[in-house]
Structure 1
Amino acid sequence: MRPLILQTLERLGVEVKLGTAITGVDASGVLTSTGERIQTLTPIWTAGTVAAPLTRQIPGDKDRFGRLMVDAHLRCPQAKAIYAAGDTACARTDEDDNDDPNTVGSEAEYTKMSCQHAMPMGRYAGHNAAADLLGLPALRYSQVMLGTILDLGRHDAIFAAGSGDEAVVALSGAAAKPLKRWINETLIYPPRADDLIGALEAGHPVNRTVVPAGLGC
């Protein structure tokens, strides 16, 4: 995805400085690790993500973002009454039969802090928490479709299907924008509060979302 992203940024006049850190910010600009000073009255800082502070109250192993390492059912191994999902949980996305979240194989794939994982994880975690209360069997978290879609300004986006080194760019530019707009404006929003059937269907662990025709997927 990187070459297409860089092409779009260049076309939009965005200058990229890879491998450069910010070492200082003041009222008139920023100072970089290379010694360069960039004059600006409007610095905007975005510096990564971390898990919610609530995770610190729950015992068990955590990843470098502070996310709870969960098992195949999204349960916290050291706090078995707790299920975690979304940006608070780190789960395996591959089909390895090993339920031990601490076993990290060289080919292992883990969830990222993005909506593509958060929404399915929420469905499974909610289902399994309810099943636990009712004495019913839990479902193993499984995610058939993996992909990343990024917004690149007013008219462009980029969609890559798959994960890791196997990800392939499927749509880019104006062709990907309708899909990103549909995700932002429709997919991520829950049904109306009075739509009980819709809420139950949206919360089903098996993702039944159908992408509208004409969005390129």
Structure 2
Amino acid sequence: MGTETRMATHVLIVGGGYVGMYTALRLHKKMRRELKSGELQITVVDPQSYMTYQPFLPEAAAGNVEARHVVVPLRRVLPRATILNGRVTKVEHAKRQAWVQVVGSTSAEGGGGEQSAETRVLSYDVLVFCPGSISRTLPIPGLTECGIGFKTVGEAIYLRNHVLAQLDIAASTANEKVRRRALTFVFVGGGYAGVEALAELEDMARDACDYYPTIEPSDMRWVLVEASDRILPEVGPEMGRWTVETLRRRGIAIKLQTLLKSAEGHHIVLSDGEEFDVGTLVWTAGVKPNPLVRRTDLPLDEKGRLKATAELTVEGVEGAFTAGDIAAVPDLTKPGNLTAPNAQHAVRQAKVLGDNVVAMLRGKELKRYEHSYAGSVASLGLHKGVAQIYGVKMRGLIAWWLHRTYHLSRVPTVNRKARVTADWTLAFFFKREVVSLGSITRPREEFELAAKD
């Protein structure tokens, strides 16, 4: 009499960010036996092989934290999961299938190292759909040619090198127009990303001026452009106004109720009529759901987000879960509202989502996600910050310390906590590095010049 072979349950996780990685970690913890025996299979698909802890990106850009220490390698923390580096291009949940375009695959024909479009079709039993958000851009002339976002570790590294390279240009040129352009930095968007990135980079550039005898901090022009009438809405109106006043005292121009109209040829045109040349343009004016959500058969709301239930399942669909930026999750603490698309909710949702996947597989009742928003913390450079936690408003050194303490507690793995702590400790005793490694973004430049000679 033959032995019946039991097929493994396949959980496909689309996206290796906060929700994807923390959900997979939860499944590793709760279903260790099933993973070890082969009864459960987990596949995580993401273009990158790591999860980026985005709250530390401004500090990575400013050199306070090593860039490698703000990312968590997926293969290291998820040893029993299959990690596929690729982009999901289509999902047909009715068929339980997803199409994955493998990243960096090369053509087997010709031997020329040409990129091919190798696509794999994955079958699954349970879907966790969390590809995250992307930068929301507008059809502004010149924006795509000279602007850069601030969502990835690559962008943070580039901006650090770029800002320092602009100081190198200004210190080396005899052309006043070129110098003025190099020392002008514009950030569009007054949310967390824009304010923290601007404040940390301005702080770094101000320190770097010590090594440039011909450049004074007052020679630099830093501009924050925000379409609404306030910045950092998450910390409340009072703390937002205090932040504006603090940044203005540092010489940073804050332009509220102002729009970027054009950036052609690195020439900025603002809605208030002001025009000037700029060497650096950073775009942080919001995010939107990953376009992949429109290439699925899953239900969307009017803003293009997945319709979600309080149990973090996709509304009206069996075997599909979602959370994070692309999910319209009802906020049970504020009936009629949705949870904010931020890291605080994403990490907590992932825990409930992972538990609910386990509950569904074991035939148990699913839990509802309910979490009151605790508050917000933001860094404004070294030893400077602003915070509002459970209604308590704080600013200056204490807020900066709370910002670091909170995010250190949230960054995943003891390994990363120790490395970040070591970075901060070294920074306490030594001045930060102010070297521009431009060759990182142009690694073949020297080789190509040598080949032409």
TM-score where L is the length of structure 2: 0.36
Aligned-pair CA distance for 1:9:
1.5
- 2:341 matches 1:122: no
Over the matched positions of the two proteins, sequence identity in percent amounts to 27
Query: 1:156 maps to which residue?
Result: 384
Cα distance per residue 1:29-76 (max 9 Å; x no partner): 211123321321222222211122332225213353x33231110111
How many residue pairs get aligned? The number is: 177
* Alpha-carbon distance in structure 2 between the residues aligned to 1:6 and 1:129: 44
What is the RMSD computed on CA atoms of the aligned residues? 2.3
Match of 1:62 in 2: 301
SS state at 1:34 partner:
coil
Match of 1:188 among 411, 429, 434: 411
State the SS of the aligned residue for 2:289. Answer: coil
More RCO (CA 8 Å, sep 6+)? 2
Q: Does 1:131 pair with 2:359?
A: yes
Task: Flag the 1:179–1:122 CA change in 2: closer, same or farther, 3 A.
Answer: same
User: Structure 1 CA distance, aligned partners of 2:302 and 2:244?
Assistant: 30
Q: Which has the higher strand share?
A: 2
8 A contact 2:383–2:401 mirrored in 1: no
Contact 1:29 1:43 in 2 (8 A): no
Q: Which runs of 5+ in 1 are unaligned?
A: 97-106, 163-167, 193-217
SS of aligned partner of 1:76:
coil
Larger radius of gyration: 2
Q: 5 Å matches for 1:55-94? A: 55-56=293-294, 57-62=296-301, 64=303, 66-94=304-332
How far, CA to CA, are the matches of 1:115 and 1:40 in structure 2? 32
Unaligned runs of 5+ in 2: 1-238, 416-453
Per the alignment, residue 37 of structure 2 pairs with none
| 2:158 matched residue in structure 1 | none
**Any idea what SS the aligned residue of 1:86 has?**
coil
Mapping of 1:1-217 within 5 angstroms? 1-56=239-294, 57-62=296-301, 64=303, 66-95=304-333, 108-162=336-390, 168-190=391-413
- Cα 1:31–1:181 change in 2 (3 A) is same
Shift of 1:28: 3.7
One-letter amino acid matched to 1:61: L
Deviates more, 1:122-131 or 1:49-58: 49-58
Structure 1 residue 4 displacement after superposition: 1.9
Distance in 2 separating the partners of 1:25 and 1:50: 22
Structure 2 partner of 1:204: none
Partner Cα distance (1:36, 1:50) in 2: 29
Query: Distance in 1 between the 2:349 and 2:297 partners?
Result: 18
8 Å Cα contact 1:67-1:88 kept in structure 2: yes
| Per-residue deviation, residues 177-198 of structure 1 (Å, max 9, x unmatched) | 1121123334122456xxxxxx
